[in-house]
Amino acid sequence: MYHHVKQLMYTVNVGTPDPKFGNMLLEQFGGANGELAAAMQYSIQGLNCDDPERKDLLMDIGTEELSHLEVVGTLARLHLKPTKNQRSAAEADPLIAIAGGGGASLYNSQGDPWTADYLKITGELDVDLRSNIAAEARAKIVYERLINFTDDPGTIDALQFLMTREITHMKAFTLALESMGKDRFSIGLIPPTPGLVNQYFNDSTGENEMGDTDARGPWNQGGDWEFVEAPAFEPFKSEKAGTRQSASSAESQGDGHAKKRSAAASSKATY
């Protein structure tokens, strides 16, 4: 059950409206990394969650995101207000000015409508929590960029609040994931293929004009890693889909198959 309290979660004060910036703000209202997408993603994950403790977490944060949506919508409305009756301001975003009456609407900053395709919901709790951590990180960066594009103190204060809460949610989702006690590379129930799971394919090789070369680090060396050098350049042959053999092995088998084909041909010729 939802109940709306008229007071905003964070008080919004806009000194000088900036319609072009108001258009930018719509990215966090109806965009892929915006507050509506977050609210719907976490709330629907919560509805589908069988874990009562983490369901409570998802519903708590999903509901808070609706409060953030209200703050962003209020910010956008105040910045877009001149588009209601000023031609020069309306030209900053004719779609909002003409179709939306100069207020917030479910479009991103490019005028694309909000879509459920923005939501990442798998029904696997640990996978969904990882998606949520990434979603909060993306939203934090968007808020950071918005802060850099406005000089209005009240707007900056509100955006700073929203940006900070993204980190708070990242912490909560991360700790909830860790508290599940699962190995961080254990996804689902079917285990990966032994050996293959630890092979790192060096598929981007050589050196370019900017000095970029093959890099080595903990992502491809040490521990259980097996570094496989430029597999695309090795002459692999196989009669069985999904297998790869070394050149020597392929040539050896190739010679054997050739002898069998020759013997079969000779046998047919005698008849």
Provide mean pLDDT across the span 259-267.
48
Whole-angstrom distance, CA of residue 168 vs CA of residue 162: 10
**In 3D, which of 28, 102, 32, 100 has the Cα closest to residue 69?**
28
pTM, 2 dp: 0.81
- Most confidently predicted of 61-70, 195-204, 209-218: 61-70
Provide mean pLDDT across the span 66-87.
92
97 DSSP 8-state letter: I
Which fold, 19-178? Answer: Ferritin (1.20.1260)
Q: Where are the beta strands (DSSP E) in the chain?
A: 199-202, 226-229
- 83, pLDDT greater than 50: yes
> Which pLDDT band, with edges at 50, 70 and 90, does 249 fall under?
very low
Q: What percent of the chain has pLDDT over 90?
A: 65
Give the side-chain half-sphere CA count within 13 A for 251.
Answer: 5
Question: pLDDT tens digits for 200-219?
Answer: 999 888 888 888 888 999 99
Domain positions in the chain: 19-178, 194-207+215-233, 236-271
